[in-house]
Structure 1
Amino acid sequence: MSAPLPPFPSHEEPSADAPELLQLGSPDDEPCLRADAARNRARLLEAAGKLVAEHGASCVTMEAVAAEAKVGKGTVFRRFGDRTGLLAALLDHTEKKFQAAVITGPAPLGPGAPPQERLKAFGLALLRRSADELDLQLAAEPSAERRYSNAPRRFLRGHVLILLRQIVPDADCELLALTLMQYLDPSMIHYRTRICGMPADRVEAGWLDLVDRLTRTAPSA
Structure 2
Amino acid sequence: MDRWSILSMGKNDRVERRERADAARNRQAILRAAEELLRRHPPEQVSVERVATAAGVGKGTVFHRFGSRTGLMLELMSERARELEQAVTDGPPPLGPGAEPVERLVAFLAEVAALGARNGNLMAAHEHAMVTRKAAAEQPREANPIYVFWHRHVSALIAEGRPDVDAGQIAHMLLGTLHMEPIASQLRAGEHERLAAGFAELVRGLFRGGVG
TM class by smaller structure = 0.7 to 0.9
Report the Cα offset of residue 215 of structure 1.
Answer: 0.7
Task: Name 2:8's counterpart in structure 1.
Answer: none
TM-score normalised per structure 1: 0.73
Report the Cα offset of residue 100 of structure 1.
Answer: 0.9
User: Is 2:150 the counterpart of 1:164?
Assistant: no
Contact residue 154 and residue 171 of structure 2 kept, 8 A: yes
Equivalent position to 2:105, from 92, 98, 119: 119
User: Is 2:36 the counterpart of 1:42?
Assistant: no
The 5-angstrom pairing of residues 77-156 of structure 1 reads 77-141=63-127, 142-143=130-131, 145-156=139-150
Aligned-partner Cα distance in 1 for 2:88–2:201? 21
Aligned-partner Cα distance in 1 for 2:94–2:187? 29
TM-score normalised per structure 2: 0.75
Greater RCO between the two (CA within 8 Å, min separation 6)?
1
Q: Which amino acid aligns with 1:71?
A: V
Report the Cα offset of residue 81 of structure 1.
Answer: 1.7
Which stretches in structure 1 are left out of the alignment for 5+ residues? 1-32
User: Is 2:183 the counterpart of 1:189?
Assistant: yes
Quickly say closer, same or farther: Cα 1:53–1:98, change in 2 above 3 A: same
Larger radius of gyration between Structure 1 and Structure 2: 2
* Alignment coverage as a number of residue pairs: 185
SS class of match (2:62): helix
Quickly say closer, same or farther: Cα 1:54–1:116, change in 2 above 3 A: closer
Aligned-partner Cα distance in 2 for 1:209–1:55? 33
Which segment drifts farther, 86-95 or 73-82? 86-95
Moved over 6 A (4+): none
Report the Cα offset of residue 189 of structure 1.
Answer: 2.3
Contact residue 155 and residue 168 of structure 2 kept, 8 A: yes
Q: What is the percentage of aligned positions where both structures have the same residue?
A: 40
Quickly say closer, same or farther: Cα 1:123–1:94, change in 2 above 3 A: same
Quickly say closer, same or farther: Cα 1:50–1:119, change in 2 above 3 A: closer
Equivalent position to 1:215, from 203, 207, 210: 207
Quickly say closer, same or farther: Cα 1:167–1:151, change in 2 above 3 A: same
Report the Cα offset of residue 53 of structure 1.
Answer: 4.2
Contact residue 138 and residue 187 of structure 1 kept, 8 A: no
Equivalent position to 2:195, from 191, 196, 203: 203
The 5-angstrom pairing of residues 2-21 of structure 1 reads none
Quickly say closer, same or farther: Cα 1:185–1:108, change in 2 above 3 A: farther
Deviations 1:109-132 (A, max 9, x none): 111111011111111111112111
Bigger share in helix: 2
Which stretches in structure 2 are left out of the alignment for 5+ residues? 1-18
Deviations 1:31-57 (A, max 9, x none): xx9333223222322332343344454
Which segment drifts farther, 139-148 or 169-178? 139-148
Quickly say closer, same or farther: Cα 1:214–1:50, change in 2 above 3 A: closer
Q: Which amino acid aligns with 1:103?
A: T
Q: Which amino acid aligns with 2:158?
A: L
Aligned-partner Cα distance in 1 for 2:126–2:89? 24
The 5-angstrom pairing of residues 57-96 of structure 1 reads 57-96=43-82
Q: Which amino acid aligns with 2:204?
A: D
Quickly say closer, same or farther: Cα 1:81–1:175, change in 2 above 3 A: same
